[in-house]
Chains A and B, each alone.
Chain A
Amino acid sequence: MSISQKGAVAQLLIFSGVLAGWLALFITNGTVFFWLDDGMKMAFYLIAGTGFALLVLMNAMISFFGRGNKPVSDERDKTIWRKASLWATGASYSVVVALLLVLSITYMEQDSTVVSVYFPLFIVLVGGVTLVLTQSIAALIYYNRQVHHEEN
């Protein structure tokens, strides 16, 4: 398994943890309306922030320590991550659009024109987590399938 592939596994584990943490929050709170409670809100941001901080730390460690003078990744890894990123962008965009639609419909039904300031950050975080989770899953799938270099 290449370092790049191990990175995909680590990324999947970290953000599965983030997702599990969020799920635990919702179950504990009994509702997804966590922004009504300051403690829950901060816990939600803290879980996501920890996930992204670990991702940055992991990538920094790979860049600094790598494999000495040998390449950490090559054209195959780059092709795989590019393809995975395309899937991740599509999935993340779809989730963000779906959340915005739900938000709009919910507020329209309530005849409200004021939206909580915490919604945009919530949607951005969910979109970001969807992006990195989908990217790692797609990368691991591509690592086990036949891949053609993009110029071919």
Chain B
Amino acid sequence: MKKIKNRIRRLRFDNNEMTQEELANLAGCTRQTIIALEQGKYLPSIELAFRIARAFGVSLEEVFQYEESG
């Protein structure tokens, strides 16, 4: 089973407790999409994934991890 996980919630906390709204504004999406991403309910496009990583100033792999198990 393949799964893509993300560390958005953790990274927000590490970035002066950035709010979901602030991240949404930086990434150019709605707050509801950030909520869905944190809940693992949405798998974003490559473009949005890069914009989120850029908002935190980190690489894509530091935000999204691809896991393959069982």
Contacts and interface: CB of A to CB of B under 8 A. Distances in A.
Interface residues on A, range: 10 to 19
B43 to A, nearest CB: 4
Interface residues of B, number: 17
Interface stretch (B5-13, B34-42, B54-62): B34-42
Contacts of B47: 75
Contact of B41 (A71, A147, A151): A147
B33 A74 contact: yes
B29 A148 contact: no
Interface of B: 25, 28-33, 36, 40-48
8 contacts: A1-B32, A4-B30, A71-B29, A73-B30, A75-B29, A76-B29, A146-B42, A147-B36
